Structure 1
Amino acid sequence: MRLATFLHLTVASLGLASAIPSPSPSPLPSPSPSPSPPTPRPTNITQALFDEFTSLSELVDIAYCVGTLNSGIDVPFTCLSYCAHFPSLTLIKTWNTGLKLSDSCGYIALSPGDRRIIVAFRGTYSLINALADLSLARQEYLPYPDAECNGCTVHAGFLESWGQTEKIIGGVLGDLLQQYPGYKLELVGHSLGAAVAALAALDFAGRAWNADIRVTTFGEPKGGNKEFAGFLDRRFDNTSYRRITHINDPVPLLPFESLGYHHHGHEYYISAPHLPCTIEDVVKCEGGAEDPNCVAGTNFSMFGSLMGHRDYFHRLGLCLPEQWSGRRGRSEEL
């Protein structure tokens, strides 16, 4: 029924009813609207977790030393960035797929002291990366190997970047986990590298590796639709997956929900607009994937936000000595 017809009949029926005398009924009380449950407030993190996040941000920053135009990482584990903070690490492999294959870069390192295999994914650094970030195409997501993800779609550029990376590092990691049973897989990523780390984590979780996986991302964009976000949330909890966001960073708000993209949960939020941040500035978000108390509640602004996307405990993406990095203080190695 058309809306205009419905309104006309409704008005007519009300007029007819008013012409028929009837006793005046006692007025009924209007039902009180059910109050919406309050959004849980974020909670403060511990000093130990703050130090851990700081150290992991240094590990992901080291990935920016890898690439065609960068200085690189040398054996055993030296570079112009924070390599000196991790004297016990041993470099296993670096990769750089090149500009024609999504320009995915990163490294694998071994940490015998705490039994970790570290995989760091570099963020957006080139025009090819920028185009991949801004591509809005989605395609069906088929999890590895036989898990069900009904209706899941993911960002085609992110999936392509992971596909090219997996060809290089998948076999290497499988061999390492056989050689070092009981080691934890520590995945870190920033920006585009954060989105690739998410896909890598889901892939690795589906393999029969019997390895604990922990993922920490910085400035992660939305990777797929609501079904995909729910699938990721079911695979990981907020101790095995930590999605760190920042008040001035627009990237976690992209691509927009109106285009079919949704974020997963497990968010930790930095509320300080400028460096340095302190433990009081970092909270664990408790209101779900789109917690209005965290980055989802901030205003989107692409302009003047470059530093917001780079400033995660220090300035990421420079591969420069610590005194040039824009961060005061340092963390100890985990």
Structure 2
Amino acid sequence: MFLTPFLLAVAAFVLWAEATPASITPALGKRSISQDLLDDFVRYTKYSSGAYQVLCPSPLGNTLVVQFSDLVTNTQGFIARDDSRKEIVVSYRGSLQAQDFLTDVDIILVPFSSQGVSSVQTNGVTAHQGFLTAFNSVASVIISTVTEQLKQFPSYSLVSTGHSLGASLASLGGVSLAANFPGHPLKVFTFGQPRTGNPAYATMAENLIGVNNIFRAVHTFDGVPTIIPEAIGYRHHATEFWNFVDPPLTSTVKQCSGEEDPTCSDSIPSTGINVAHVTYFGQAIALDPTVCI
């Protein structure tokens, strides 16, 4: 969602001083996560944060394959290759400028259509018009670049990741990668993702990507994941991982059930863009250029 660099800086400063609301209570004994998964959340948060940088020449010290940008939609991000982990990572930038705000507020649900996703798979599927238009503006460069990378490194797995607006693009991107590279190992990590489509979109994403390959993280009382209401036809896809209280530990991140688990972040009324939205897994989003070297 829409954030100026100034607001990002202010929110990051305020976060350390603001106590977690009393309404959020630990989900004791309920599906805590492994250390390996926590480490993954930290890693892909850094990739998502790096996408906000004007230049990211070496994401997390890895090879930058391409940095993509569409001037009309202002959709930006990069594709990186981690040769030690044998991964190709597509990271999408979240909202930072005025054009991104126009993308965010274009909330009409429109029929889903994207390169390489068949009409059979998209029957009854609708998605946020702004998010879908933004993704489709860069879809061809992403698909062609990943195709070339997999020709050279066929054993590498794929990761789609992003924060806020970038998280919804990563969700759409995950669907695209799954459809264009069927059967190829793929994971999707999103942070502060707004609802992105209708219930049929949620089902399509789960079927194509696999519920066990989707990691939709929500930080405490972040209001962005629930800012677009279900009442107008939207629904989250699984699987949510709710970091219900700080600091982020294996015991303070709960693996939720289904698409809209009433015991997870959906239990907290949305307060929109707030300080919880701009820090994930210890990373001040957009404010750490060291993730790009």
Say yes or no: TM over 0.5.
yes
* Counterpart among 237, 244, 248 of residue 271 in structure 1: 244
The DSSP-based 3-state class of the residue aligned with 2:215 is strand
The DSSP-based 3-state class of the residue aligned with 2:80 is strand
Equivalent residue for 2:202? 229
CA distance in 2, matches of 1:259, 1:300: 15
CA distance in 2, matches of 1:315, 1:238: 28
CA distance in 2, matches of 1:294, 1:201: 23
* Counterpart among 198, 207, 213 of residue 240 in structure 1: 213
1:163 aligns with 2:136: yes
Aligned length: 262
1:92-131 equivalent positions in 2, closer than 5 A: 92-98=65-71, 101-131=72-102
The DSSP-based 3-state class of the residue aligned with 2:90 is strand
Q: Deviation at 1:117?
A: 0.7
Equivalent residue for 2:56? 73
Equivalent residue for 1:282? 253
Contact 2:159 2:188 in 1 (8 A): yes
CA distance in 2, matches of 1:258, 1:238: 24
Equivalent residue for 2:49? 61
CA distance in 1, matches of 2:112, 2:195: 14
**What TM-score comes out, normalization by structure 2 length?**
0.83
Report runs of 4+ in structure 1 exceeding 4 Å deviation.
none
Moved more, 52-61 or 208-217: 208-217
* Counterpart among 148, 154, 161 of residue 188 in structure 1: 161
CA distance in 1, matches of 2:179, 2:119: 8
CA distance in 1, matches of 2:263, 2:63: 40
List per-residue Cα deviations over 1:277-317 (Å, max 9, x = no partner): 3332211012x211111111111213xx4321111112112
Which consecutive residues of structure 1, in runs of 5 or more, have no partner in the other structure?
Answer: 1-40, 78-82, 323-334
The DSSP-based 3-state class of the residue aligned with 2:242 is strand
Equivalent residue for 1:150? 123
CA distance in 2, matches of 1:295, 1:118: 27
Equivalent residue for 2:24? none
* Pair 299,169 (structure 1): closer, same or farther in 2 beyond 3 Å: same
What amino acid sits opposite 1:44 in the alignment? S
CA distance in 2, matches of 1:170, 1:235: 16
CA distance in 2, matches of 1:142, 1:64: 27
Instruction: Provide the alpha-carbon RMSD of the alignment.
Output: 2.1
* Pair 320,115 (structure 1): closer, same or farther in 2 beyond 3 Å: closer
Q: Deviation at 1:58?
A: 1.0
Q: Deviation at 1:239?
A: 2.9
CA distance in 2, matches of 1:157, 1:267: 23
* Pair 289,42 (structure 1): closer, same or farther in 2 beyond 3 Å: farther
CA distance in 2, matches of 1:170, 1:238: 22
CA distance in 2, matches of 1:176, 1:315: 30
CA distance in 2, matches of 1:169, 1:237: 21
Q: Deviation at 1:164?
A: 0.6
The DSSP-based 3-state class of the residue aligned with 1:164 is helix
Which consecutive residues of structure 2, in runs of 5 or more, have no partner in the other structure?
Answer: 1-28
The DSSP-based 3-state class of the residue aligned with 2:89 is strand
1:306 aligns with 2:274: yes
* Pair 210,308 (structure 1): closer, same or farther in 2 beyond 3 Å: same
Q: Deviation at 1:163?
A: 0.8
Q: Deviation at 1:221?
A: 0.8
1:291 aligns with 2:265: no
* Pair 132,44 (structure 1): closer, same or farther in 2 beyond 3 Å: same
* Counterpart among 12, 28, 32 of residue 44 in structure 1: 32
Instruction: Kindly indicate whether structure 1 or structure 2 has the higher relative contact order, using CA contacts under 8 Å at least 6 residues apart.
Output: 2
Whichever of the two has the greater Rg, that structure is 1
CA distance in 2, matches of 1:188, 1:244: 11
**What TM-score comes out, normalization by structure 1 length?**
0.73
1:4-19 equivalent positions in 2, closer than 5 A: none
What amino acid sits opposite 1:120 in the alignment? S
* Counterpart among 263, 284, 293 of residue 315 in structure 1: 284
Q: Deviation at 1:321?
A: 4.6
